[in-house]
Chains A and B, each alone.
Chain A
């Protein structure tokens, strides 16, 4: 189950951002959250997005994920400019090219694990064997025995694994994660990171992960550090034994 050939020479980058700006109304004034951010993420790369609270991480992540539109600049996913794309186009891109994982899992509480994973396929163009594909995906994240469980019957780590399966079931090229281990204890967080790393290797995914956690950031190929809406040099990191191990697993 590979998302496609991600290593083709001359292929457009997975993410290309040029002079991204975003301002939001706050207390009656327009506050500029992103002040001109430019970067590219080549296919297959794992990039972490770090920075203090209020630096614009979530805003940037939202724009990359096609959840939000910039006030200025351009953003392209897999060579497709989504900057001025309408709501329908963005929905199609999100469904086909982007998988998103949230800190708080955001599973649909009324659906079982299997149904949560099936959900994106019902609006996927030309999707077939929906049940089978969802089951395979759950198998891939090690939850084949939890298919019929509802979110409240699963542990935090299991919920996040279901969320990952759901994000990847449409075979996207880009996985975006917003603090994927933020709601998990360290052991479970380690397991989830290991899973993400394994899936990246198996599916050839491009990863953009927003995190505060240096342990997560340490496993990335590159770190984008935001301060006050601008990219800055990332602070020096001290690698932890765990992170090294995870990095080893990932590679």
Chain B
């Protein structure tokens, strides 16, 4: 045996039929691309969303005071624990619930979904690190001056903020707009979360006017015991690494398995394509194989020859797949990072690429082996007589054994990729059982579909007959098409309906649609500005962060906000559920009425306070008041509900009570106005510019932000689900390509009896179009059923089946299938009939 001869032979054979070779290569490339692309997303997910629990906790332990700020006494307690060696080091952070950022020179506010917090630059972070756009910058330098802030790279890019620019944070009831200056830009944060703003605790103190601003302590354990129990016993809400680990393990494993499993399913699809292609290619070379046998070649020689050929195919396909994977992983990671505001820098991981390529080559060999073994076993007597070999029980047993062996090898490959033999077995078993079940279902559907009476258009009838004849080969493309249409259809309908609902409510309903976050002393100026724009006077909502304790002395964390409303004006966000009518008990407070059922807006957990209690409420001014609970309230379900605008919560009181408890220097108000819906955007921009120290949020802005999130989610879902559709197209191209090889003589005969190239091509396209219609329609039936099930389980979702959208998606799928078929069938259908007929 000469390796160089075999290599030459294999390369020439691959080059002899470039279209078929390309088809097999594309199949392998798809598998490698899916595997590496989805592995990179799984890796990204593991690094960020379910990060190292230490990173998530910020240390070994994180502790909060149930909504209350951490006081000097408690800090002294922490210092004592540190001195005792139970705490090695700790850092304090102050979370800011503000959800909007407004640049100083703009009327528009940007919705924030990342972190907004005050940190101690000297000690933060205990775990992880910041990476700055200017490498020499440190956190201590960046936040040295009170009022300075650090923003993340994505925020700077999206809003156009640069070092030195000013902006404000607002949107939290009880928190006045916080004015800050960009001092540094971070390209990475300890938790890789983007869309974030950090400033110093000193800044937080200056903004709130309070000495105690920290809401959380993060600590690393010292060598002398664990302070967790002590902290729990002293009213700290403690989160440990072990707890986070336990919570994260489930989703981390599920997502890892999901993405890598999907990658392996991509490999299986590519393997099916390879197996199909090689079987047809080798079947076409039966004569050549027999000739080699007459020359004395034994089965082992042919195994080596075809093995080298398959190896080269796998290598070339995997190389192509690795190249495509670079693009896919960059795109998926970009989408993922953008959708979930993650700070991740994409880079090529040579290990992942090499691993993916190895998996691709191994898959090609595993799935090609069956065809290789069968081909190399061809008997040379076929040269003398065209006689199909009989499959005796021994042959069936050998085939079964070989398939089992190959299945075992592929299971090992899957186990290596997933890092668990059990998961490897699970994914392969899922694929096998899924293929059998779906294959049986789709086979039965196809069996019926190809027998449906169609209009007796001659080419359509011929296409239906062709589909009937090659039914087995159509099943896998059909399953892939169905999966693509189903996932894309469901994602599109769910997300677009949610987006539409927001759009309808936000813009068309009118009502309270303009929110102006301001200091209490700006109310008059804001009202005047509104009047200038002929907007009716706004309701003024006062909100004060308070600490509330029950008569028993128990701290009530759910009542950490006191909302002041004008007793002379009707309530709009809530209605009184029990107790005196609004405005008749000005010195009392109302607490939320617990509600255990209903939609998300209506669920309210018991606050711990009851009618008749007298609560001790301490405001930021340091003043405490004893306030009787006179009644309860329930939230009104607002059609304008937007998750970025926080719902009414806490204690309801008169605005006089709020003002009395609040710090006159920092008390925040929210002015809520009804602006004409059609001018909302213009008005909010004009007001934002006219009132630079306030933050003006229109419902349109808030809805735009939500819709943007939904659009990003939809794009991500379509990108991932689109892989299934691509798999469908590849399998269709593969099936059509192979059918063209098998039906080459038939094409010649059709042409000989008067068909032209266009008519033969039309027959093929109609056949694949029928497949596309069936796949699309079945996918949409699946979506309709899923919507029914979702509506049963979650009636509040109110999903409906969108028929025009379904029809559009079916048409797109059909076109997709036909284009894939057209690309492959064009050349074989334009062959000269004499050329084909002479071959035989």
Give chain A's interface residues, CB within 8 Å of chain B: 24-25, 58-59, 61-62, 65, 67-68, 87-88, 91-92, 94-96, 100, 102, 106-111, 115, 118-120, 122-124, 130, 166, 170, 178
Q: Known contacts A108-B291, A110-B16: does B2 contact A122 (CB below 8 Å)?
A: yes
A91 to B301, CA, bound (A): 11
Verify A65–B294 contact, CB threshold 8 A: yes
Picked from B13, B291, B298, B390, the residue with its CB within 8 Å of the CB of A25 is: B390
Residue in chain A with minimal CB distance to B295: A120
Q: Known contacts A24-B387, A59-B384, A59-B385: does B291 contact A170 (CB below 8 Å)?
A: no
Verify B16–A109 contact, CB threshold 8 A: yes
Verify A120–B296 contact, CB threshold 8 A: yes
Indicate whether B9 reaches chain A with its CB closer than 8 angstroms. Answer: yes
Verify B390–A62 contact, CB threshold 8 A: no
20 contacting pairs across A/B (C-beta < 8 A): A24-B385, A58-B385, A59-B384, A59-B385, A67-B290, A67-B293, A67-B381, A94-B293, A94-B380, A95-B295, A95-B296, A106-B383, A109-B16, A110-B12, A119-B5, A119-B292, A120-B296, A122-B6, A123-B295, A166-B295
CB contacts (< 8 Å) of B383 on chain A: these are: 62, 67, 102, 106
CB within 8 Å of A: which of B1-32?
1-2, 5-6, 8-9, 12-13, 15-16
A94 to B287, CA, bound (A): 17
Q: Known contacts A59-B384, A119-B292: does B297 contact A91 (CB below 8 Å)?
A: yes
The minimal Cβ–Cβ distance linking B491 to chain A, given in whole angstroms, is: 47
CB contacts (< 8 Å) of B298 on chain A: these are: 87-88, 91-92, 123
CB contacts (< 8 Å) of A109 on chain B: these are: 16, 288
Verify A111–B381 contact, CB threshold 8 A: no
A215 to B572, CA, bound (A): 112
The minimal Cβ–Cβ distance linking A66 to chain B, given in whole angstroms, is: 8
Verify A119–B295 contact, CB threshold 8 A: yes
CB within 8 Å of A: which of B57-105?
none
The minimal Cβ–Cβ distance linking B8 to chain A, given in whole angstroms, is: 7
A107 to B287, CA, bound (A): 10
CB contacts (< 8 Å) of A123 on chain B: these are: 1, 295-298, 301
A215 to B552, CA, bound (A): 123
Q: Known contacts A87-B299, A106-B383, A123-B301: does B294 contact A67 (CB below 8 Å)?
A: yes
CB within 8 Å of A: which of B354-407?
379-381, 383-385, 387, 390
CB contacts (< 8 Å) of B387 on chain A: these are: 24
CB contacts (< 8 Å) of A170 on chain B: these are: 296
Verify A115–B293 contact, CB threshold 8 A: no
Q: Known contacts A87-B299, A106-B287, A166-B295: does B1 contact A122 (CB below 8 Å)?
A: yes
Q: Known contacts A25-B390, A91-B298: does B13 contact A110 (CB below 8 Å)?
A: yes
CB contacts (< 8 Å) of A25 on chain B: these are: 390
A10 to B2, CA, bound (A): 39
CB contacts (< 8 Å) of B13 on chain A: these are: 110
Residue in chain A with minimal CB distance to B301: A123
A178 to B297, CA, bound (A): 20
Verify B288–A108 contact, CB threshold 8 A: yes
Verify B381–A115 contact, CB threshold 8 A: no
A130 to B294, CA, bound (A): 18
The minimal Cβ–Cβ distance linking A177 to chain B, given in whole angstroms, is: 12
Residue with the greatest number of chain B CB neighbours at <10 A, chosen from A67, A94, A96, A109: A67
CB contacts (< 8 Å) of B1 on chain A: these are: 122-123
CB contacts (< 8 Å) of A108 on chain B: these are: 9, 288, 291-292
A18 to B379, CA, bound (A): 24
CB contacts (< 8 Å) of A130 on chain B: these are: 2
Residue in chain B with minimal CB distance to A169: B295
CB within 8 Å of A: which of B435-464?
none
Residue with the greatest number of chain A CB neighbours at <10 A, chosen from B16, B288, B295, B385: B295
Verify B9–A100 contact, CB threshold 8 A: no
Residue in chain A with minimal CB distance to B4: A122
Verify A68–B381 contact, CB threshold 8 A: yes
Q: Known contacts A109-B16, A122-B2: does B384 contact A58 (CB below 8 Å)?
A: yes
Verify B296–A96 contact, CB threshold 8 A: yes
Residue in chain A with minimal CB distance to B2: A122
CB contacts (< 8 Å) of A68 on chain B: these are: 379, 381, 384
Verify A94–B296 contact, CB threshold 8 A: yes
CB contacts (< 8 Å) of B301 on chain A: these are: 122-123
Known: A110-B16, A122-B1. 19 other contacts (CB 8 A): A25-B390, A58-B384, A67-B290, A67-B294, A67-B379, A67-B381, A68-B381, A87-B299, A88-B298, A91-B293, A92-B298, A96-B296, A110-B12, A111-B9, A115-B8, A123-B296, A123-B297, A123-B298, A166-B295
The minimal Cβ–Cβ distance linking A165 to chain B, given in whole angstroms, is: 12
A87 to B380, CA, bound (A): 10
A94 to B301, CA, bound (A): 14
A119 to B387, CA, bound (A): 26
CB contacts (< 8 Å) of A111 on chain B: these are: 9, 12
CB contacts (< 8 Å) of A58 on chain B: these are: 384-385
CB within 8 Å of A: which of B550-584?
none
A119 to B8, CA, bound (A): 12
CB contacts (< 8 Å) of B5 on chain A: these are: 115, 118-119, 122
- For B801-834 the 0/1 string (1 means CB < 8 A from A) is 0000000000000000000000000000000000
CB contacts (< 8 Å) of A122 on chain B: these are: 1-2, 5-6, 301
Residue in chain A with minimal CB distance to B296: A95
CB contacts (< 8 Å) of B9 on chain A: these are: 108, 110-111, 115
CB contacts (< 8 Å) of A91 on chain B: these are: 293, 296-298
Verify A67–B380 contact, CB threshold 8 A: yes
CB contacts (< 8 Å) of A115 on chain B: these are: 5, 8-9
The minimal Cβ–Cβ distance linking A209 to chain B, given in whole angstroms, is: 15
CB contacts (< 8 Å) of A96 on chain B: these are: 296
CB contacts (< 8 Å) of A124 on chain B: these are: 296
A94 to B15, CA, bound (A): 30
The minimal Cβ–Cβ distance linking B58 to chain A, given in whole angstroms, is: 65
A178 to B13, CA, bound (A): 27
CB contacts (< 8 Å) of B294 on chain A: these are: 65, 67, 94, 100
CB contacts (< 8 Å) of B288 on chain A: these are: 106, 108-109
Residue in chain A with minimal CB distance to B299: A87
Residue in chain A with minimal CB distance to B11: A110
A88 to B297, CA, bound (A): 9
Q: Known contacts A108-B291, A110-B16: does B296 contact A92 (CB below 8 Å)?
A: yes
CB within 8 Å of A: which of B295-322?
295-299, 301
Verify B384–A94 contact, CB threshold 8 A: no
A91 to B8, CA, bound (A): 23
CB contacts (< 8 Å) of A119 on chain B: these are: 5, 292, 295
A59 to B381, CA, bound (A): 9
CB contacts (< 8 Å) of B15 on chain A: these are: 110
A123 to B299, CA, bound (A): 11
CB contacts (< 8 Å) of A88 on chain B: these are: 298
Residue in chain B with minimal CB distance to A96: B296
Residue in chain B with minimal CB distance to A92: B296
A62 to B384, CA, bound (A): 7
Name the 5 nearest CB pairs between A and B, nearest first.
A95-B296, A110-B12, A120-B295, A67-B380, A62-B384
CB contacts (< 8 Å) of A24 on chain B: these are: 385, 387
A59 to B12, CA, bound (A): 33
Residue in chain B with minimal CB distance to A91: B298
A115 to B380, CA, bound (A): 21
Residue in chain A with minimal CB distance to B288: A108
Verify A61–B2 contact, CB threshold 8 A: no
A58 to B383, CA, bound (A): 10
A134 to B294, CA, bound (A): 17
Residue in chain A with minimal CB distance to B390: A25
CB contacts (< 8 Å) of A94 on chain B: these are: 293-296, 380
The minimal Cβ–Cβ distance linking A103 to chain B, given in whole angstroms, is: 10
CB contacts (< 8 Å) of B290 on chain A: these are: 67
Residue in chain A with minimal CB distance to B294: A100
CB contacts (< 8 Å) of B8 on chain A: these are: 115
CB contacts (< 8 Å) of A106 on chain B: these are: 287-288, 291, 383
CB contacts (< 8 Å) of A100 on chain B: these are: 294
A24 to B384, CA, bound (A): 13
